[in-house]
Amino acid sequence: MQLSNQPIIWQIQRVHSFVRRVLAQECRPSFARKKIERMYSSSVHVSEPFLQKNSNITEKIFEYPPPFGFHNLQHKLQEVLDLIPISSSENTGRRDCRRCVVIGNGGILQGLELGSLLNQFNVILRLNSGPVRDFSRDVGNRTTIRMSYPEGSPKIWEDVDPQLQFVAVIYKAVDFNWLHAMLSGTTISLWDKLFFWQKVPGSIPVDPSKFRILNPAIIREAALDLLHYPKPKARLWGWDQNVPTLGVSAVNLATYLCDEVSLAGFGYNLRQKTSLHYYDNLPVTVMLKQAMHNVDHETVFLQRLVAAGGILDLTGGVHCSFCST
């Protein structure tokens, strides 16, 4: 069962009560990751979710093109890695149990007034340009990680947390050129701009030490091991590959960064005339035009994971465990 996209008082109360229970319970160390690996025993563990200059980079990372790897992009990868100071704050031994919430941009968040509760999670991961300034009542205003690719990145920057990390996702070779410009403070060339499908930001106001490059193994694991998509195949022009949405890739990343993982703002109900995002009036049927992604297949995957208790769906758009029958 899914929660309606038109919340009424009893729905808001039920959602709030569920989220409060989640926050009040004792955190379970490594729970989400262990659950994934039990459910998908063939999945290959990713030792480093982010890449740095001192990362153990093997030839496997260059087997496929973006977003599954960096085929023939060794030089571009090294150029951007050289611009990011090595972080010593990650994986530094024992730490407290952490809860992640991956906040999607779904219209189901409208009117749920979850902002103050979402702010209480240890790690708050937002996708692309999902805004916070005028929507904090529903989506909160804290951001620990902003995960995006060039075209999806915020044109107007609203995140204010000085510890925020910007996780860059590489989908194509020219994305490296954009990332290099963001890190070096230079201008994107007019030639490079031709290869983006929409306008990209001219700057990301985050210190280079807070930039992260997503290890493409995170996306490869999501696609091949969790969603069971076929392996990418080389064609005469380009590659034939099924690409997961950024949301599913972010969920997989979260299982490596946190002990428990929750979702908010996920789920599409094409039968309802509701908005696609919490911040605009686009109809949800726009998702039918997304030829690159298999949303139905991903929904089944997330439903299975939530139903098994591996992750929690706070807003009930994927699988509502707290709704009445």
Is the pLDDT confidence value at 186 over 90? yes
Residue 20 lies in a domain: no
- How far is the CA of 170 from the CAs of 77, 87, 246, in angstroms? 10, 20, 11
Residue 307 lies in a domain: yes
Residue 318 lies in a domain: no
Amino acid in position 247: G
Residue 121 lies in a domain: yes
Range of the domain at 301: 28-85+97-313
Residue 6 lies in a domain: no
Q: Give the chain's count of helices (H) and strands (E).
A: 10, 10
> What DSSP state is assigned to residue 40?
-
Count of Cβ atoms closer than 10 Å to residue 163 Cβ: 8
- Number of domain units in the chain: 1
Banded pLDDT at 53 (limits 50, 70, 90): very high
Sign of the four-CA dihedral 103, 109, 111, 113: negative
Using DSSP, state whether 136 is helix, strand or coil. Answer: helix
Is the pLDDT confidence value at 240 over 80? no
- Predicted local confidence at residue 87, as pLDDT: 73
Is the pLDDT confidence value at 225 over 90? yes
Higher pLDDT: 215 or 268? It is: 215
- Do the beta carbons of residue 260 and residue 313 sit within 8 Å? no
Residue 323 lies in a domain: no
Between 56-65, 188-197, 234-243, the lowest mean confidence (pLDDT) is in 234-243
Between 42-56, 87-101, 201-215, 291-305, the lowest mean confidence (pLDDT) is in 87-101
Q: What is the pLDDT of residues 105-116, one digit of tens each?
A: 999 999 999 999
- Predicted local confidence at residue 281, as pLDDT: 84
Residue 18 lies in a domain: no
DSSP string, 47-71: S-SEE-TTS---GGGGSS-TTT--T
DSSP string, 169-213: ---SHHHHHHHHHHHHT-PPPHHHHTTSSS---S---S-GGGEEE
For residue 45, the domain's CATH number is 3.90.1480.20
Q: pTM, whole model, 2 decimals? A: 0.93
- Predicted local confidence at residue 94, as pLDDT: 56
CA neighbor of 2 nearest in space, from 272, 190, 234, 292: 272
Residue 210 lies in a domain: yes
Which tokens is 67 given? 């977003």
- How far is the CA of 202 from the CAs of 79, 127, 173, in angstroms? 19, 19, 18
Banded pLDDT at 92 (limits 50, 70, 90): very low
Higher pLDDT: 225 or 268? It is: 225
Banded pLDDT at 74 (limits 50, 70, 90): very high
- Do the beta carbons of residue 108 and residue 3 sit within 8 Å? yes
